[in-house]
Structure 1
Amino acid sequence: MTRTELRLALQIAFTYIGTVVGAGFASGQEILQFFTMLGPYAYPGILLAVFLFGWIGIKILLLGRKLEAESYRELTAYLFGPRIAGTIDTFMMVMLFFVTVAMLAGVGALFEEQLRISFQIGVLLTMVLTFLTILRGMKGIMLANSIIVPIMLAVTLTIFAKSFLQSDHLPNLHTIQNVAPWRWITSAISYAALNLGLAVSVLVPLGGEIKSARALKIGGLLGAAGLGLMLLGAQYAMSTRLPGILEFEVPMGFLASTFNPLMKALFTVALFGEIYSTLIANVYGLGSQLASPRRPVQGYLVTILILTAAFFVAQVGFSNIVQYLYPIFGNLSFLLLLVLLWPRRKLKN
């Protein structure tokens, strides 16, 4: 493997991780809802989700490369045909919009709970930064993730290590609610489906831009492995503070605040980066569906409209969006996974 391919693989991995981890993942709310509530069954659930991230993520990247796609519209047209593709595209745009709302609500909660700054001010500042990044297109997204993701990995693993070394707080291995023994399987599939459904908006055009199949495969594997490390570390850390951690909008923020001021500050920076990385991916994916890449002025106006609409809807609160909408989107995205895995004719190179 050449040095150029390795650099590309790392950029792909960082972009993959940055697209998946967002307000729900980074704050701990997603992990709490999909895994932590399952007690000891959380760990096999996480491993199954990571396997799906690696397997299906690589398939999406390679399909994007073969289709030479500029947006996920080419992928849905290929998978579902022109008649059904329009309906699928509409569903994905609705999903991307509401997850964009969740990202903005999450950053508002972060500013309010951790920095004691107004919810609205935090959201508006993030909207401006998002717009400036999207002006640079896919290169801007890859550059932003190459900076943010290593910080996110370091902070999450540090929280895990500190939680592991605290002998006065042991992991809670009991389920928080009555669940069926097989629930970890459906929860893992639903979680992977939700996040892969969202990641399609970036992974498809990313695959279309990268010519090296080897870099795409290794990048997909590294991305899945990084997500696995972060999921396992965050899950263990939160399980040591159950059930009290359920009271917080940003449970991982509460964990960081129990260590020392420096750790709390680092977590706040990392969490903001995680939300921001997913936000730019979602807005970019949504904008690429509504405006042609060849008409940049139209794209800028669409981006402003998306962010403005999301700002107003975000006032409903972050945990409400994660609790009620994310499972619905996960179940609907399961259809996309089934179609991706269905045997199909080979594309011409």
Structure 2
Amino acid sequence: MSRTELRLSLQIAFTYIGTVVGAGFASGQEILQFFTLLGPYAYAGILLATFMFGWVGIKILLLGRKLEAGSYRELTAYLFGPKIAGAIDTFMMLMLFFVTVAMLAGVGALFEEQLKISFQIGVLVTMVLTFLTILRGMKGIMIANTIIVPIMLVVVLTIFTKSFLQTDHLPNLHAIKDVEPWRWITSGISYAALNLGLAVSVLVPLGGEIKSTRALKLGGLLGSIGLGVMLLGAQYAMSTRMPGILEFEVPMGFLSSTFNPLMKALFTVALFGEIYSTLIANVYGLGSQLASPRRPVQGYLITVLILTAAFFVAQVGFSNIVQYLYPVFGNLSFLLLLVLLWPRAKLKN
């Protein structure tokens, strides 16, 4: 593999990681709910999710390439046929929009709580940054994630290392009792399905833009490994503070605050980066679905309209959106996963 292909593979991996992780991952709530509450079965669930990220993620990237897809519309049409695909596309657009709203609400709360800056200013600044990134298309998203994801990896691995070296806090894998042995299977698959469903909006056009099959395969593999390492590190760190960590809305924030002010500042930067990376992925996915690639001005206008609408709906609050809509989207994503893995005639390269 040439140096150019290796560099491209790393960019694909960083884009994959940045698209999957978001406010739920960075805060630690997703990891806590899907894995930490499984007790000793948490690590098996994470390994299963990592395997799914690798297997299905690479499959999506390669399908995007074979379909020469500009948006996930080509993938849903291929999987479900033109009639059903229309309904699936509409539902996915709604979910991407509401996740965009949730990310804006989350970043507003981050500015307000951590930086003591107005909720509205935080949201507006992030909207401008998102628009400027999307102006550069997929290249802009890849560049942004190449900067953001290494910071996230450093923060998570530092929290893991510090937790590992603190002998006064050891992993408590039995804080949660009466966990069904089979739950690690459903948790691992559900976590992967939910996040892959969100990532489709970027992975499909990313595969359509990259011509190198080797770069896509290696990028998908490295991305899944990176996600697995981050999950395992965060899980270990949180398990050292069980069951007390269950009281915190932002478990990873609590962990970072127990070390030093610099660590807390780095965590705040990483949290913003993770929200921002998910936000640009969602808005790009929506824009590519609604606008013609041959009319870039139309795409810019649609991006502005999406962000403006999300700004007003974000006043509803992050928790309400997550509580009522995320489970529904998780179920749809699981259906998409099943259809994606169903045997069918292979496409020509």
TM over 0.5: yes
Cα distance in 1, alignment partners of residues 139 and 177 from structure 2 = 44
Cα distance in 1, alignment partners of residues 23 and 194 from structure 2 = 14
Residues 24 and 322, structure 1, Cα contact 8 Å, conserved in 2: no
* Cα gap change, 1:312 to 1:239, in 2 (>3 Å): farther
The answer for the alignment partner of 2:185 in structure 1 is: 185
Instruction: Quote the offset at 1:109 in angstroms.
Output: 2.4
Residue pairs, 1:15-94, within 5 angstroms: 15-94=15-94
Residue pairs, 1:195-274, within 5 angstroms: 195-274=195-274
Residue pairs, 1:60-139, within 5 angstroms: 60-139=60-139
Cα distance in 1, alignment partners of residues 113 and 165 from structure 2 = 26
Instruction: Quote the offset at 1:175 in angstroms.
Output: 5.3
Instruction: Quote the offset at 1:323 in angstroms.
Output: 4.1
TM-score using structure 2 length: 0.96
Cα distance in 1, alignment partners of residues 121 and 306 from structure 2 = 18
Cα distance in 1, alignment partners of residues 271 and 311 from structure 2 = 19
The answer for the alignment partner of 2:161 in structure 1 is: 161
The answer for the alignment partner of 2:147 in structure 1 is: 147
* Cα gap change, 1:74 to 1:177, in 2 (>3 Å): farther
- The percentage of counterpart residues that share the same residue type is 90
What residue ranges of structure 2 are gaps of 5+ in the alignment? none
Cα distance in 1, alignment partners of residues 111 and 174 from structure 2 = 32
Cα distance in 2, alignment partners of residues 342 and 189 from structure 1 = 16
What residue ranges of structure 1 are gaps of 5+ in the alignment? none
- Superposed CA offset, 1:63-116 (max 9, x none): 000111100100111111101100111111112112112211221222223222
Instruction: Quote the offset at 1:316 in angstroms.
Output: 3.4
After superposing the two structures, state which structure 1 stretch, 69-78 or 23-32, moved more.
23-32
For residue 97 of structure 1, what is the amino acid of its counterpart?
A: F
For residue 105 of structure 1, what is the amino acid of its counterpart?
A: A
The RMSD of aligned alpha carbons is 1.5
After superposing the two structures, state which structure 1 stretch, 164-173 or 262-271, moved more.
164-173
SS in 2 for 1:246: helix
* Cα gap change, 1:239 to 1:113, in 2 (>3 Å): farther
Instruction: Quote the offset at 1:266 in angstroms.
Output: 1.1
SS in 2 for 1:259: coil
Instruction: Quote the offset at 1:188 in angstroms.
Output: 1.2
* Cα gap change, 1:174 to 1:307, in 2 (>3 Å): farther
- Superposed CA offset, 1:266-288 (max 9, x none): 11111111111111001100111
Instruction: Quote the offset at 1:178 in angstroms.
Output: 5.1
Residues 9 and 216, structure 2, Cα contact 8 Å, conserved in 1: yes
Count the aligned residue pairs.
349
Cα distance in 2, alignment partners of residues 130 and 89 from structure 1 = 23
TM-score using structure 1 length: 0.96
The answer for the alignment partner of 2:328 in structure 1 is: 328
